[in-house]
């Protein structure tokens, strides 16, 4: 199967014919509100009491009002935010020293202290799975803390960059964050739960000369992409985030709009539950499905040419240096022949019904995606029935009523995988993760051992080799199917200047954005 090269993937343009850019104004200057729509979902329903809390803001927009200790750049490399530097205390990689930036003030004028960080992570350890590895945080002096981890982690700074691991003013764990006070470039001025958040410029922001806007109005338009784009055309919005790639590609053909991609994006993980009696217990059936799925057709029909990528059955992004393409045949007929041979060896020479694949409408691309997936599987003799369920059921379908002692297992279901650095992404398929569907056996044990070694490995090049070896195991074992992914897209009016999208939209701060 042809692949998109990593260098080409990072540079993939979304626009059609080149359009002359209008000359910018003499320099950035503040104007009135920038109106932004966010099409991504937030499964945590906000109320009048918690709507200002970072966990309940419209999804992936936390850093408008808050900061984390670390921020990932577009290459997913850690950069200073509220921390100026960090390092492991010893070779164990289980104890890390973090130094705080001086002169940071919260929106209420209070200076940020180590006590604020300790209190924030007390909350995060309880509520954010991305912080569960942190055992405790202890102050060393007025600007230094130590983070104690439950296991070695050479990539701990990436964990600190999670969009929910922000720093809030210290308060009891029951009320911390409810005030909406952060240290970010904009201050929350008003919130309508699940609908609109209004922000004003933070005049005491710790980045000199930023932000450049006076106000931001952010609307939550989950499930309303067409309405959001229509409002962009009419002038109601200046910028729409989280646009489905095919719709973004159509907008790119019009010179009035500029389309940005973050160099990465979402992909769908098809969970393959390896319950007793399931066809997915047999590795040959999983391998046959991986060969039968027409990945290029999924990219072309669900996303559009140049707007997606062929997956390798791992959650690693092609923009990540660790990404390793699946080895494969030279054409579609060879793939199908190999799939049929595997099924015959497994005793299914006449094909096999894989059952019902459950899905929720997580994006406009997903119905096309799954229809193409089903058709490719059918060509090799693998039957799949598709069943749509309500969006609110997505967490339960992904995790399920899972209890091995009661013989309850995860469903055959489609789950969203958000962009992460390679170490965290590959951790999604460890045996204890629901996405792995109870993968077990020697290969799984080798995979887990490699992941553990990689977490302890301080040398980035050796760690990269381990991540690639882990992907080779996934290519053979196929504990989950990740056939394709689509770019993260945003569409802006051309007067919006200084905006760059990101593989992780949660890194967006809007502090360098201005209106021409």
**9-23 mean pLDDT:** 42
Residue 3 has pLDDT above 90, yes or no: no
Copy the structure tokens of residue 480.
């989950």
Would you state the pLDDT for residue 122?
A: 97
Do residue 432 and residue 507 come from a single domain? no
Do residue 482 and residue 492 come from a single domain? no
Number of domains in the chain: 3
φ/ψ of residue 398, rounded to 5: -70, -45
Model pLDDT for residues 269-278, shown as the tens digit of each residue: 999 999 888 9
Do residue 50 and residue 70 come from a single domain? no
Would you state the pLDDT for residue 1?
A: 45
Residue after which a domain boundary falls, among 179, 197, 229: 179
**333-349 mean pLDDT:** 97
**440-460 mean pLDDT:** 94
Model pLDDT for residues 83-132, shown as the tens digit of each residue: 999 999 998 899 999 999 999 999 999 999 999 999 999 999 999 988 99
Would you state the pLDDT for residue 410?
A: 66
What is d(CA 515, CA 290) in angstroms, rounded to the nearest whole number? Answer: 47
Would you state the pLDDT for residue 6?
A: 44
Segment 446-450 long-range contacts (CB within 8 Å, at least 24 positions apart)? 446/473, 447/473, 447/474, 447/477
Q: What is the CATH number of the domain that holds 120?
A: 3.90.76.10
Do residue 334 and residue 351 come from a single domain? yes
8 Å CB contact between 341 and 450? no
Closest CA to 265 of 244, 285, 288: 244
What is d(CA 495, CA 35) in angstroms, rounded to the nearest whole number? Answer: 12
Across 31-40, 123-132, 169-178, 472-481, least confident range:
31-40
Do residue 322 and residue 417 come from a single domain? yes
Do residue 353 and residue 389 come from a single domain? yes
Would you state the pLDDT for residue 514?
A: 93
**383-392 mean pLDDT:** 90
Do residue 417 and residue 389 come from a single domain? yes
How many other C-beta atoms lie within 10 A of the C-beta of residue 87? 10
3-state secondary structure of 469: helix
Residue after which a domain boundary falls, among 130, 161, 179: 179
The percent of residues in the chain predicted with pLDDT above 90, rounded, is: 69
3-state secondary structure of 249: helix
Does residue 404 come out as left (phi exceeding 0), alpha (psi in the -120 to 50 range) or beta? alpha
Q: Which residue has the higher pLDDT, 247 or 137?
A: 137
Q: What is the CATH number of the domain that holds 220?
A: 3.40.190.10
Do residue 431 and residue 465 come from a single domain? yes
User: DSSP alpha helices (H): ranges in 50-174?
Assistant: 114-127, 156-160
Would you state the pLDDT for residue 23?
A: 42
Q: What is the CATH number of the domain that holds 473?
A: 3.10.105.10
Q: Which residue has the higher pLDDT, 402 or 236?
A: 236
Please provide the average confidence, as pLDDT, over all residues in the chain.
Answer: 89
Residue 344 has pLDDT above 80, yes or no: yes
Do residue 155 and residue 134 come from a single domain? yes
Do residue 225 and residue 283 come from a single domain? no
8 Å CB contact between 112 and 119? no
Model pLDDT for residues 17-38, shown as the tens digit of each residue: 333 444 444 466 656 789 999 9
Residue after which a domain boundary falls, among 179, 208, 238: 179
Do residue 223 and residue 273 come from a single domain? no
Do residue 313 and residue 447 come from a single domain? yes
Per the structure, the complete domain to which residue 237 belongs is given by 1-63+184-264+487-516
Tell me the residue ranges of DSSP E strands in 39-143: 70-72, 78-80, 83-88, 95-100, 134-141
Local confidence band at 402 (pLDDT 50, 70, 90 cut-offs): low
């Amino acid at each position: 199967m042809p692949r998109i090269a990593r260098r080409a993937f990072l540079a993939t343009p979304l626009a059609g014919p080149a359009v002359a850019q209008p000359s910018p104004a003499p320099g950035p200057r503040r104007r009135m509100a920038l109106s932004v729509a966010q099409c991504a979902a937030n499964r945590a329903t906000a109320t009048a009491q918690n709507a200002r809390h970072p966990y309940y803001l419209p999804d992936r927009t936390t850093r408008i009002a808050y900061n984390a200790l670390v921020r990932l750049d577009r290459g997913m490399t850690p950069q200073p935010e509220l921390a100026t530097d960090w390092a492991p205390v010893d070779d164990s990689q289980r104890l890390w020293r973090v130094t705080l930036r001086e002169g940071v003030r919260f929106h209420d004028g209070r200076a940020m202290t180590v006590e604020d960080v300790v209190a924030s992570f007390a909350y995060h350890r309880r509520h954010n799975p991305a912080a569960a590895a942190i055992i405790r945080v202890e102050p060393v002096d007025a600007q230094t803390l130590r983070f104690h981890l439950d296991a070695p982690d050479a990539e701990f700074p990436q964990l600190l960059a999670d969009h929910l691991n922000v720093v809030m003013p210290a308060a009891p764990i029951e009320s911390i964050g409810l005030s909406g006070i952060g240290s970010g470039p904009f201050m929350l001025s008003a919130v309508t739960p699940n609908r609109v958040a209004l922000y004003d410029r933070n005049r005491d922001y710790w980045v000199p000369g930023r932000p450049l806007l006076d106000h931001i109005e952010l609307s939550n338009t989950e499930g309303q992409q067409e309405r959001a784009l229509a409002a962009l055309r009419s002038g109601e919005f200046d910028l729409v985030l989280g646009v489905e790639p095919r719709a973004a590609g159509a907008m790119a053909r019009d010179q009035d709009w500029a389309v940005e991609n973050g160099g990465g994006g979402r992909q769908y993980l098809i969970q393959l539950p390896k319950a007793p009696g399931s066809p997915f217990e047999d590795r040959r059936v999983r391998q046959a499905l991986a060969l039968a799925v027409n990945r290029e057709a999924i990219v072309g029909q669900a996303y559009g040419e140049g707007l997606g990528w062929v997956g390798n059955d791992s959650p690693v992004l092609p923009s990540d240096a660790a990404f390793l393409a699946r080895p494969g045949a030279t054409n579609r007929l060879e793939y199908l022949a190999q799939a049929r041979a595997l099924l015959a060896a497994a005793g299914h020479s006449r094909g096999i019904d894989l059952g019902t694949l459950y899905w929720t409408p997580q994006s406009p691309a997903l119905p096309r995606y799954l229809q193409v997936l089903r058709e490719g599987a059918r060509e090799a003799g693998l039957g799949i029935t598709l069943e749509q369920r309500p969006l609110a059921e997505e967490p339960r379908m992904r995790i399920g009523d899972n209890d091995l002692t009661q013989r309850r297992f995860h469903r055959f279901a489609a789950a969203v995988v958000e962009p992460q650095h390679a170490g965290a992404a590959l951790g999604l398929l460890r045996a204890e993760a629901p996405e792995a569907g109870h993968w077990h056996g020697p290969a799984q044990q080798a995979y887990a051992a490699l992941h553990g070694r990689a977490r302890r490995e301080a040398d980035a090049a050796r760690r990269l080799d381990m991540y690639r070896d882990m992907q080779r195991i996934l290519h053979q074992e196929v504990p989950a199917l990740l056939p394709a992914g689509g770019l993260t897209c945003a569409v802006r009016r051309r007067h919006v200047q200084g905006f760059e999208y990101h593989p992780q939209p949660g890194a967006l701060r809007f502090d360098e954005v201005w209106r021409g």
